[in-house]
Amino acid sequence: MRLDKYLADLQLGTRSQLKTDIRKGRVTINGTPVTQPDYRLDENRDTVTYAGTVLTYRKYRYYMLHKPAGVVTATKDNFDKTVLDLFPAALKTDLFPVGRLDKDTEGLLLLTNDGELAHCLLAPKKHVQKTYYVECSGTISQEGIERLSRGVDIGDDTPTRPAALLLLSQTQDRYCLEITITEGRFHQIKRMIAAVDGTVTYLKRLSMGSLVLDETLAKGQYRELTTQEEAALFTPLKFSTE
């Protein structure tokens, strides 16, 4: 790996800033000063010191984002602000969102550079649970709620898989629900609610697999996952194919 990329991956500054520091002799590898930004090192064996601090390289990075409405889940977009635009340039190198939330949907979004984990979380056969808080209008009957829990026709080749529903509150024409699904079809929650004569007015993802949204994060804020959160994501039981 190039030395400047190694330092940038550790979020120590922008590539241009780090190249300047390297040329000034602020970096040593195995005790020897290195002043070439394109120097190739072995990130798993070499000992790198930057400004007097010995560095530990992490190949994969994991971030929890509280996605706000109005931002698209993409790495780049010609018209709209993306979730990666919420990260500083030095931090977002190689990151991508795991799955997608609609532009008007808020809540938990995982961003990483770990393609294998992303595949495990998104593979249909894994049936990873995703829980949403849903506000909707309309006249959803008790029979409609039961249909949602059993699976409904949303216009695809097969009905949705059974969902877990919790009715939080209900007025004459407004419902607040928690819905847990094990699929990730296009606009799935909105289409499920529409299938029982309702309209989603607000949607927020609360959890994905073992990962639960940190409600202390304001909309648009992010943080690295804790060691415990990372470990739980890799637990085989979370990726059951049953």
Catalytic residues: 102
Instruction: Find all residues with CB under 8 Å of 130, minimum gap 6, and list them.
Output: 180, 181, 182, 184, 205, 207, 208, 209
Q: What are the backbone dihedrals phi and psi of residue 4, each rounded to the nearest 5 degrees, phi first? A: -65, -35
Burial, 92: exposed, middle or buried (Cβ in 10 Å; 0-12, 13-18, 19+)?
Answer: buried
Q: How many degrees, rounded to 5, is the angle at CA 86 between CA 84 and CA 91?
A: 65
Question: From CA 154, how far away is CA 33, in angstroms rounded?
Answer: 62
Question: From CA 152, how far away is CA 193, in angstroms rounded?
Answer: 9
Question: From CA 36, how far away is CA 19, in angstroms rounded?
Answer: 8
